[in-house]
Amino acid sequence: MNTQSPNQLTIHQPDDWHVHLRDGEMLAAVADYTAQQFGRAIVMPNLAPPITTVDAAKAYRDRILSAVSSAHHFTPLMTCYLTDSIDPQEIEAGFTQGVFTACKLYPANATTNSAHGVTDIDNITAALETMQRIGMPLLVHGEVTDSDIDIFDREAVFIERVMAKLLSRFPDLKIVFEHITTKDAVNFVMNSGSNIAATITPHHLVYNRSAIFAGGINPHLYCLPIAKREVHRLALRKAATSGSAKFFLGTDSAPHTVENKQSACGCAGVFNAPYAIESYAQTFEEEGALDKLEGFASLYGPAFYGLKPNSRKIILERQPITAPPTLTVMDTQIIPFHAGEVLTWRLAGFA
């Protein structure tokens, strides 16, 4: 931390190690919210159809760069969506050429646009061996999909059934356990080697599963993995603010239109990009850990990926701002995270 006063905080510019930027009109509408605060972002490949080739990733990267305002200095880091039939040579070529930064493992049907995901990790052994050999990180959506496993238990069961197997078969593979939501995942990551890390979203630090149903059903708080009990939220807050380099920032910002959220079968995803760093800053302040924000937001992620921190700095100021209740996107709206709430910190500029 270079500068810290009660009212101002200057830290290296953060990166977002997990974001959904979408495509087409939605991409055009949301890209700047991420680019205005983050230097880099790991872009999820769950488009329809998913990004499974180097050419598709290059073309998507170009569309992202065209959607971002030229005022921002933003680098999208692309990922390859693993399928049962993924070609390990394509993965290696993409990584070597600097197009793919990582591969994403969605268990088939775990979440939005994951129908092409992996049905059994035995089907991607060759891809995982390649990734282990070349030092390419595996990003894991850690939930089992079995309908007989309760939705609130799917992450914990994934640790037993899949993570343990991944670690024993590929002991040197770099793995990011993404958007963790349980104390089980915190403990698993803490007790694993330095090749295992986790991202934590702003929203899982802020509310628990009861909030989703407080006063009626709140579809804008529904995301996957779903928020868990309070004991888990507290474990996540402790991990994020602990100063451990194993936990770093990943928003999982996942925009859906208001029609797709407020529906009889509403989509999973929280759109938190507009005030992500502000939300994290508030959580870290509440935990008395503002001095740990820079590590979590700006240093541990790059270190895990073997990259340098951004050279630019951001200035956060203690100044109340009200998050807008809705954002107009295309011909409709998105209800962002913290809609209508007052946040304590504000991104004031760059240094």
Active site residues: 252
Tell me if 185 contacts ligand NCD by CB under 6 A.
no
Beta 40-43 vs 16-19: how paired, if at all? Answer: parallel
Residues 101-140 that bind ligand NCD (CB under 6 A): 111-113
Q: Smallest distance from the beta carbon of 44 to Zn ion, in angstroms? A: 5
CB of 244 to ligand NCD, least distance (A): 23
Distance between CA 50 and CA 113 in Å, rounded?
A: 8
Query: Minimum CB separation from ligand NCD for residue 113, in Å?
Result: 6
Q: Which helix (H) or strand (E) holds 61?
A: helix 54-67
The residue range among 47-55, 117-125, 248-256, 292-300 that interacts with Zn ion, by the rule CB under 5 A, is: 248-256
Q: Give the integer Cα–Cα distance in Å for 161 and 151.
A: 15
Residue 253 interacts with ligand NCD (CB under 6 A): yes or no: no
User: Considering beta carbons, is residue 12 or 141 the nearer one to ligand NCD?
Assistant: 141
Site membership for Zn ion, residue 143 (CB under 5 A): no
The verdict on 21 binding ligand NCD (CB under 6 A) reads: no
Least Å distance between CB 192 and ligand NCD?
Answer: 22
DSSP 256: -
CB 84 within 8 A of CB 124: yes
List strands edge to edge, sheet with 313-322.
3-5, 8-12, 313-322, 342-350
**CB neighbourhood size of 69 (10 A):** 10
Looking at the Cβ atoms of 173 and 334, the one nearer to ligand NCD is 334
CA distances from 107 to 104, 154, 161 (A): 10, 11, 12
Q: How far is the CB of 157 from Zn ion (least distance, A)?
A: 19
Return phi, psi of residue 202, to 5°: -65, -40
Residue 224: other Cβ atoms inside 10 A:
21
Does residue number 254 form part of the binding site for ligand NCD (CB under 6 A)?
yes
| Given 184, 252, 278, 294, the residue binding ligand NCD (CB under 6 A) | 252
In this structure, the strands spanning 3-5 and 247-249 are unpaired
20 forms part of the interface with ligand NCD (CB under 6 A)? yes
Helices 230-240, 276-286: axis angle to 10 degrees equals 100
Say whether residue 252 binds Zn ion (CB under 5 A): yes
Tell me the closest approach of the beta carbon of residue 70 to ligand NCD, in angstroms.
27
Judged by CB under 5 A, how many residues of this single chain contact Zn ion? 1
Near ligand NCD in 216-235, by CB under 6 A: 223-224
CB closer to ligand NCD out of 11 and 144: 144
Amino acid in position 334: I
Residue 19 interaction partner, one of ligand NCD, Zn ion, none, beta carbon < 5-8 Å per kind: none
Binding residues for ligand NCD, rule CB under 6 A, total: 12
Helix, strand, coil proportions of the chain in percent (round to 5)?
40, 20, 40
Query: How far apart are alpha carbons 175 and 140 in whole angstroms?
Result: 7
Q: Provide the binding-site residues for ligand NCD, judged by CB under 6 A.
A: 20, 46, 111-113, 141, 223-224, 252, 254, 268-269
Q: Provide the binding-site residues for Zn ion, judged by CB under 5 A.
A: 252
